[in-house]
Amino acid sequence: CNTTTSTTWAHHHDDNSTNTSSSDEMSELAQQVFGTRTNLQSMQVNWYEEPDNHGRMYPEPKVNIYGDGGFFKCHQDGMHLTILVVLSDDFEGGGTAFFREPTSTSRDEEKEEERDGTATAGEGLGGEEEAVEEDDGDYEPEPDSISKPPAGTAIIWGALL
């Protein structure tokens, strides 16, 4: 997983708080950006129409809603701005994993070390089982950090994270 460093900002809104300026500010921002404060999930807004690295056209903003078992594999986020909003604490496991630019997370490099005798089973980033398995294209490095914010938290980061 190849990533670059970017600024991450987190804000937690406590529903029990008497300060409502946060939700008022978000409502006003939604009105300014989208022209409405409601039904934002049903909007199709084209901020730009440029193909991604694979030539596919994806308008922004995109809304991804995770259901049971939903996930993304390790990837470099190509969006200009990502806002992750945690809507519920009612889940097990999961979280958002972040990876530093790796020194050696390539499965091919690890397999080469194993063949050269410079690495033994269990020394790879994936642990003992991963280090001795054949590369099936599903290799995932271990994350450097996993964020599991509580419901009501928004995490915002810039492109290429």
Q: For residue range 68-101, what is the model confidence (pLDDT) as tens digits? A: 777 777 777 666 778 888 877 777 777 888 887 6
Encoded tokens for 69: 């078992």
Helices and strands (DSSP H and E) totals, the chain: 3, 5
Q: How far apart are CA 108 and CA 33, in angstroms?
A: 45
Q: Look at the pTM and tell me if it is higher than 0.85.
A: no
Comparing 58 with 123, the larger pLDDT belongs to 58
Local confidence band at 149 (pLDDT 50, 70, 90 cut-offs): confident
